Amino acid sequence: MLRRKTGYVHRSDTIAAISTALGHSGIAVVRISGPDAVNVVRRLVKRQEFPEHGRMYLTSLLDDEGRVIDRVLAVRFMRGRSYTGEESAEIHTHGGSLIARTCLELAVKNGARLAEPGEFTRRAFINGRIDLSQAEGVLGVIQAKSQEALHAAARTLTGELSSRAHKIHDEILALQSSLEIQLDFPEGETVSDDINGGLDGVISELEELVSQCSAGQILREGVRVVIAGRPNAGKSSLMNALLGRNRAIVTDIPGTTRDIIEEGLIIDGIPVRLTDTAGLRESEDVIEAEGVRLALDAMSEGDICLYVIDSSRGLDDDDRGYMSMLAGRKALAVLNKSDLVSALDEARIPLKKVHVSAKNCAGIDDVKNAVYALACDESLLSEGLNASAMQLEELRGSLQAVREARDSLMLGEDITAGLLGSARVSLLRVLGVDAGDELLDSMFSRFCVGK
């Protein structure tokens, strides 16, 4: 079969890859899938009979010259019952990278081809074993960095997003059909009330799904928290206190931090990218001025801003200006140096406030709790689902189309039916129905080889 220069052409040949990480480990798994999978295994090991699906057989791996090079376990998965849906097999060698690689090379010499990244999962998708949302769940489980993210991915992998999207799709289809019946028999009795109620129900189901997938996205991709404020307010001290170690340089010289400093931490399951910035002030110094420009960019791009104020000094016009820029955004005023006498008129601060002493690590948990609350709705986080950015966009598109459909009911059934049709198409895209090669290429290139 031909391979295009870019993109992937689905072939039904037999593929192989090492599915475990290379290095020293207890065991390594070489995975083989395709019509010839069991024959490839037979050519590699002493045992020739693999009658049962899913049973591990102890046997010996042989090299080109028939010498035993490892004691291994071989397992066969029958067509229709395997991960990919195809005839597949695995050989579990001991976990040295040489033995795993040798086993893979032998598989390739004996009729298999090296698998591309994500090709096993792509085959599972093509063969209808999983849909695209479940494939995204597989990736989520592999990439999860917190327990909460793992649960969100596992729920998606086991089909929760799929079944909900299917159910909503079918409800929309039923509403669309009754509208189309109306179109055919205009003199018939009006069903608008039922349809109105039905659309309201679909809208709330879609809203819930979108919220759960947004929570999943926060769990997976995290939030960017930017620390900003005037020089010497204690931004770098706050960064260090949040991280629990001295990452940024702290001095009493204003203008110490000139570059952007980024570090990661996890707050109650949410991955956070914490950014410390240069103090916001006019500066003659070219480097510091560039740092201030970067700080302002970071402030506008971040998801959450912690605006740090030295409470022993009081506010100035700059503080008031920057805080008014943050009004309506996810932002927190961190009133630092609470160990000193306050000169602040807190009533004039237009943001939610937290009192801390970064130097003494006091109030830091309050900052973390406030960041968590700004990042997400706690109740939803425990129900997060794993959707890709593209899938989330389709879900939002579907919700938008159903809302427009409800608003268009007075305008005519044909318009409403058309909008419901596009809402359904978006849901089908979430599941990957009729997905084009390009979309699948970008989806599966995010997987590793062997998955």
Interacting residue ranges for ligand GDP, rule: CB under 6 A: 229, 231-237, 250-252, 256-257, 279, 336-337, 339-340, 357-359
Q: Rounded CA gap, 107 and 111, in Å?
A: 7
Measured from the CB of residue 268, what is the shortest distance to ligand GDP in angstroms? Answer: 24
| Closer residue to Mg ion (CB): 257 or 398 | 257
* The token pair that represents 361 in the structure block: 């690590």
Tell me how far, at minimum, the Cβ of 232 lies from ligand GDP, in Å: 4
Q: Which one, 70 or 310, has the nearer CB to ligand GDP?
A: 310
Partner touching 251 among ligand GDP, Mg ion, none, CB below 5 to 8 Å by kind: ligand GDP
Stretch that binds Mg ion, among 90-98, 257-265, 289-297, 344-352 (CB under 5 A): 257-265
273 or 396: CB nearest ligand GDP: 273
Instruction: Determine how many CB atoms are found less than 10 A away from the CB of residue 85.
Output: 19
Structure token pair of residue 239: 């960064």
Given the structure tokens 């003659």, which residue do they identify? 284
Q: What is the DSSP letter of 445?
A: T
Phi, psi of 272 (to 5 degrees): -120, 130
**121 in contact with Mg ion (CB under 5 A):** no
Q: How many Å is the Cα radius of gyration of the chain? A: 29
Distance CA 271, CA 274 (A): 10
Owner of token pair 């690689």: 101
- Got the DSSP string for 308-328? EEETTT---HHHHHHHHHHTT
For residue 331, give the 3-state DSSP assignment.
strand
* Selection from 32, 27, 28 nearest residue 106 by Cα: 32
Judged by beta carbon distances under 5 to 8 A according to partner kind, the member of ligand GDP, Mg ion, none in contact with residue 340 is: ligand GDP
The CA distance from 340 to 140, in Å, is 46
Q: Nearest residue by C-beta to Mg ion?
A: 257
Which CB, 283 or 386, lies closer to Mg ion?
283
Cβ proximity to Mg ion: between 220 and 235 the closer is 235
Cβ–Cβ under 8 Å, residues 41 and 15: no
Fill in the amino acid letter for 314.
Answer: G
Candidate list 59, 162, 176, 257; residue touching Mg ion; CB under 5 A:
257
Q: Which of 33, 182, 236, 275 binds Mg ion (CB under 5 A)?
A: 236
Instruction: For tokens 């940024």, name the residue.
Output: 248
Name the residue nearer to Mg ion (CB basis): 104 or 233.
233
The window from 122-130, 230-238, 337-345, 395-403 that contacts Mg ion (CB under 5 A) reads 230-238
Task: Name the minimum Å distance from CB 431 to ligand GDP.
Answer: 49
Query: Taking CB within 5 to 8 Å according to partner kind, which of Mg ion, ligand GDP, none is near residue 358?
Result: ligand GDP
CB of 256 to Mg ion, least distance (A): 5
- What is the rounded CA–CA span in Å between residue 41 and residue 47? 9
> Which residue matches tokens 């079944």?
163
Minimum distance of ligand GDP from residue 367's CB (angstroms): 12
Cβ nearer to ligand GDP, comparing 122 with 235: 235
Q: Which residues bind Mg ion (CB under 5 A)?
A: 235-236, 257
